[in-house]
Amino acid sequence: MTEYTLDAAVIGGGAAGMSAAKALVDAGCTTALVEREQTLGGILLQCIHNGFGVHEFKEELTGPEYAERWEDMVTPLAGPRGATIFTDTTVMELIPGSDEGGFTLVCVSPGSGFFHIRTRAVVLTAGCRERNRGNIRIPGTRPAGVYTAGLAQRMVNMEGCLPGKDAVIVGSGDIGLIMARRLVWSGCRVHGVVEIQPYPSGLTRNIVQCLNDFSIPLYLSHVVSRIHGRTRLEAVDITPLEEGRPDTAKTFTQACDNLLLSVGLIPSAELAREAGAQLNPLTGGPLVDCRLMSTVPGLFAAGNGLHVHDLVDYVSAEARRAGENAAAYLSGYQPARQIRLKPGSNIRYLVPGTLDPARPQPILFRPMIVKNGAILTLSLDGKIIKEQKKNHIQPSEMMQVDPAKLDLGNLELRPDSVLEVSLS
């Protein structure tokens, strides 16, 4: 069996994978970049709308343009002392070494068959997958015409197929909102977006540009309570919620021939779990420390495979940090100490889980409330060290704090110090 030996491997060749691979090669590490599709780019290739790259490249790009920018930076790095790029290749197993450390990637591709990649560090950037009908358990029949929003996006943008002519969308996630607009542009009727929460779960700009601008109704605090149809979807029942309970007396039926599900994303963390990494029950991705390293030494994670982001620019930036941290790990760097990070009131989770005072890196988190004029508070061992007013917060929009601006070197730190982040 063919075997490759390199310093590091990056699994997943989307925005995160290309960013992490470039950071590793720039640090002098020989790196394998493994992508299961035939080309690099990942999900970006089907996202033909603009809105990408504002932070990374200071201009607004489409998904394919954003992917091309990164591919143009990564492919020149290919070579025996840089990156070895494997496309059309699936990692079947990620096997941690025993006493000697390191990892073995068991890979397969149509052209090369099975082969091994041996490395001393791995960065997981495998992205995420969509939740489907089985995850939300909509009652009714099982006709054709029920799709995840991402699958419908691929059908329309890459394969030139329409999922139907009359659509209802479940969930106000960004992919669903963007597909509402895309279907209207393609000549379809979108009869509404049904959201179980009392507030939208997508970015505000997408609510405005994809729904309001096209007069598409948004049913907040509603659910699709039943699916009708035998061989093909014919209609769905839509029921409002009163104090969290279905008010069946107000149920109405909407005729449609396709139902798109935009009901959340789940990090693809199977390889991390099988390698022995502990997962975060709140994010679905691996638990990571200040280096974005999991509980398995040498195994790093970043991007949507770690926790679901709202902007691809943040994905690239986080993966770049993961690549830099993996290179530092390979060179022998170990944090002298780590401060535990604690999510406080109205914070769902914090990533990473610890902070290195000597090399502080951004803390990313999602709020649990919708509020104008919220106060972001950082407390060290119970003492407030920073407060900042936020004009508007909502769960769909990720927030971040740059602890490099806290001047931790001048603060009194204990061996068991805890930094808490909260919103009020």
Identify residue 136 by its one-letter amino acid code: I
3-state SS, 232-294, equals: ECCEEEEEEEECCEECHHHCEEEECCEEEECCCEEECCHHHHHCCCCECCCCCCECCCCCCEC
Q: Where are the domains of the chain?
A: 2-129+266-334, 132-263, 341-423
User: Minimal CA–CA distance to 46: which of 312, 315, 322, 396?
Assistant: 312
CATH class in words for 2-129+266-334: alpha beta
Identify residue 317 by its one-letter amino acid code: A
pLDDT at 403: 87
Contact 85, 73 (CB under 8 A): no
User: Residues 6 or more apart from 195 whose CB is under 8 A from it?
Assistant: 171, 172, 201, 218, 219, 220, 221, 222
pLDDT at 100: 65
- The Cα–Cα gap between 124 and 254 comes to 42
Largest pairwise CA distance in the chain? 68
Residue 364, Cα to own-chain centre: how many angstroms? 12
For 392, the 3-state DSSP assignment is strand
User: Minimal CA–CA distance to 364: which of 418, 292, 272, 295?
Assistant: 292
List the chain pLDDT tens, one digit each, 424 residues.
899 999 999 999 999 999 999 999 999 999 999 999 999 999 999 999 999 999 999 999 999 999 999 999 999 999 999 999 999 999 999 999 866 679 999 999 999 999 999 999 999 999 999 999 988 889 999 999 999 999 999 999 999 999 999 999 999 989 999 999 999 999 999 999 999 999 998 888 899 999 999 999 999 999 999 999 999 999 999 999 999 899 999 999 999 999 999 999 999 999 999 999 999 999 999 999 999 999 999 999 999 999 999 899 999 999 999 999 999 999 999 999 899 999 999 999 999 999 998 899 999 999 999 999 999 999 999 999 999 999 999 998 999 999 888 877 677 788 889 999 999 9
| Axis-axis angle for helices 312-330, 63-74 (nearest 10) | 20
Helix (H) or strand (E) holding 408: none
At CA 12, angle to CA 340 and CA 183, rounded to 5? Answer: 105
pLDDT at 128: 95
pLDDT at 407: 75
User: Minimal CA–CA distance to 125: which of 300, 370, 4, 385?
Assistant: 300
CA atoms within 13 A on the CB side of 373: 0
- DSSP per-residue string spanning 100-122: T--EEEEEEETTTEEEEEEESEE
CATH number for region 132-263? 3.50.50.60
pLDDT at 404: 83
**pTM higher than 0.85 for the full model?**
yes
Q: Which residues pair with 140 in a beta bridge?
A: 227
> Is 332 buried (19+), middle (13-18) or exposed (0-12) by CB count in 10 A?
exposed
Residue ranges of the alpha helices (H) in 113-252?
133-136, 149-158, 174-185, 204-206
CA dihedral (339, 29, 127, 183) positive or negative? positive
For 184, the 3-state DSSP assignment is helix
